[in-house]
Amino acid sequence: MSVLVFAESSEGKFKKTALEVTSYGKKVAEQLGTNLVVLTMNSSDSSILFNYGAEKILTVTNDALKIFNAKLVANIVKQAAEKESSQVVIIDSNANGLYFAPMAAANLNAGFASNVIALPSVTSPFTVKRKTFSNKAFNNTQILTDVKVISLAKNAFGLVENKVSGTTEEFSPVLVDSNLVSTSIEQTSGKVTIADADIVVSAGRGLKGPENWGMIEELASVLGAATACSKPVSDLGWRPHGEHVGQTGKPVSSNLYIAIGISGAIQHLAGVNSSKVKVVINTDPEAPFFKAADYGIVGDAFEVVPKLIEKLKEFKANNA
Amino acid sequence: MKILVCISHVPDTTSKINFAENDSKFDSNGVQFVINPYDEFALTRAMWFKEKQGATVTVATVGNAATEPTLRKALAIGADDAIRVNAEALDGFTVAKELAEVIKNGSYDLVLAGKESIDYNGGMVPAMLATLLDFNFVNACIGLEIEGDKATISREIDGGKEMLEAKLPLIIAGQKGLVEEKDLRIPNMRGIMMARQKPLTIVESSNGKATTSIVSFEKQPAKSACKLVSADNLDELIGLLHNEAKVI
Ligand SMILES: Cc1cc2nc3c(=O)[nH]c(=O)nc-3n(C[C@H](O)[C@H](O)[C@H](O)COP(=O)(O)OP(=O)(O)OC[C@H]3O[C@@H](n4cnc5c(N)ncnc54)[C@H](O)[C@@H]3O)c2cc1C
Ligand SMILES: Cc1cc2nc3c(=O)[nH]c(=O)nc-3n(C[C@H](O)[C@H](O)[C@H](O)COP(=O)(O)OP(=O)(O)OC[C@H]3O[C@@H](n4cnc5c(N)ncnc54)[C@H](O)[C@@H]3O)c2cc1C
Res A171 pLDDT > 90: yes
Clarify whether residues A78 and A149 are in a common domain: yes
Give A264 Cα–ligand 1 centroid separation in angstroms.
6
Mutate to test the pocket of ligand 2, among B125, B176, B212 (most ligand atoms within 8 A of CB): B125
Residue B107 Cβ contacting ligand 2 at under 6 Å: no
Q: Does A178 reside within a domain?
A: no
Which residue did the predictor score with more confidence, A75 or B208? A75
Res A189 pLDDT > 80: no
Nearest atom in ligand 2 to the alpha carbon of residue B127 is 29
Res A75 pLDDT > 90: yes
**Nearest CA to CA, how far is A159 from chain B (Å)?**
15
Clarify whether residues A105 and A239 are in a common domain: no
DSSP per position, B216-248: EEEEPPPPPPPEE--TT-HHHHHHIIIIIS---
Give A80 Cα–ligand 1 centroid separation in angstroms.
46
Clarify whether residues A140 and A221 are in a common domain: no
Exposure string (b/e) for B46-72, b if CB count within 10 Å is 16 or more?
bbebbeeeebebbbbbbbeeebbebbb
Peptide bond into B169 cis (omega under 30): yes
Clarify whether residues A205 and A95 are in a common domain: no
Among A69, A140, A72, A78, which Cα is nearest to A109's? A78
Query: Which of residues A128, A153, A170 is at a domain's end?
Result: A170
Clarify whether residues A224 and A137 are in a common domain: no
Res A275 pLDDT > 90: yes
Clarify whether residues A308 and A235 are in a common domain: yes
Clarify whether residues A123 and A63 are in a common domain: yes
Res A11 pLDDT > 90: no
Res A320 pLDDT > 90: no
The domain containing residue A298 runs over which residues? 199-318
Q: Does A180 reside within a domain?
A: no
pLDDT tens for residues A127-168? Answer: 999 999 988 899 999 999 999 999 999 999 999 999 999 999
Q: Which of B161, B177, B220 sits opposite A137 (nearest CB)?
A: B220
Q: Does A190 reside within a domain?
A: no
Q: What is the pLDDT of residue A187?
A: 86
pLDDT tens for residues B72-125? Answer: 999 999 999 999 999 999 899 999 999 999 999 999 999 999 999 999 999 999
C-alpha R_g of chain A: 21
Confirm or reject contact between A309 and chain B (CB < 8 A).
no
Res A190 pLDDT > 80: no
Task: Compute the distance between CA of residue A146 and CA of residue B155 in angstroms, rounded to an integer.
Answer: 33
Clarify whether residues A164 and A215 are in a common domain: no
Structural domains present in chain B? 2-214 (3.40.50.620)
Name the DSSP class of B17: P
Q: What is the pLDDT of residue A188?
A: 78
Clarify whether residues A56 and A146 are in a common domain: yes
Res A264 pLDDT > 90: yes
Res A186 pLDDT > 90: yes
Give B191 Cα–ligand 1 centroid separation in angstroms.
31
* Residues of B whose CB is below 8 A from A184: 162-163
Residues β-bridged to residue B60: B6, B83
Q: What is the pLDDT of residue A196?
A: 87
Residue type, B109: D
Residues of chain B predicted below pLDDT 70: none
Res A14 pLDDT > 80: yes
Task: Compute the distance between CA of residue A103 and CA of residue A109 in angstroms, rounded to an integer.
Answer: 10
Contact (Cβ atoms closer than 8 angstroms) between residue B84 and residue B61: yes
* Residues of A whose CB is below 8 A from B91: 111
Is beta strand B33-35 parallel, antiparallel or unpaired with respect to B25-26?
unpaired
Percent of chain A with pLDDT over 70: 100
pLDDT band at A200 (very low <50, low <70, confident <90, very high): very high
Alpha helices in chain A (DSSP H): 16-32, 70-83, 95-107, 214-223, 231-235, 266-272, 289-292, 301-318
Exposure string (b/e) for B126-135, b if CB count within 10 Å is 16 or more?
bbbbbbbbeb
Mutate which of A92, A103, A254 to test chain B, going by most B C-beta atoms within 10 A? A103
pTM of the entire structure? 0.94
Task: Compute the distance between CA of residue A147 and CA of residue B111 in angstroms, rounded to an integer.
Answer: 28
Clarify whether residues A79 and A219 are in a common domain: no
Q: How many domains does chain A have?
A: 2
Clarify whether residues A232 and A145 are in a common domain: no
Exposure string (b/e) for A35-69, b if CB count within 10 Å is 16 or more?
bbbbbbbbbeebeebbbbbbbbbbbbeeeebeebb
Clarify whether residues A288 and A151 are in a common domain: no
Ligand nearest to the CA of A268: 1
Q: What is the pLDDT of residue B82?
A: 98
pLDDT band at A294 (very low <50, low <70, confident <90, very high): very high
Note the ipTM here: 0.96
Q: What is the pLDDT of residue B221?
A: 86
Q: How far is CA A88 from the centre of its chain?
A: 20
Contact (Cβ atoms closer than 8 angstroms) between residue B174 and residue B141: yes
Helices (H) and strands (E) in chain A, counts: 8, 18
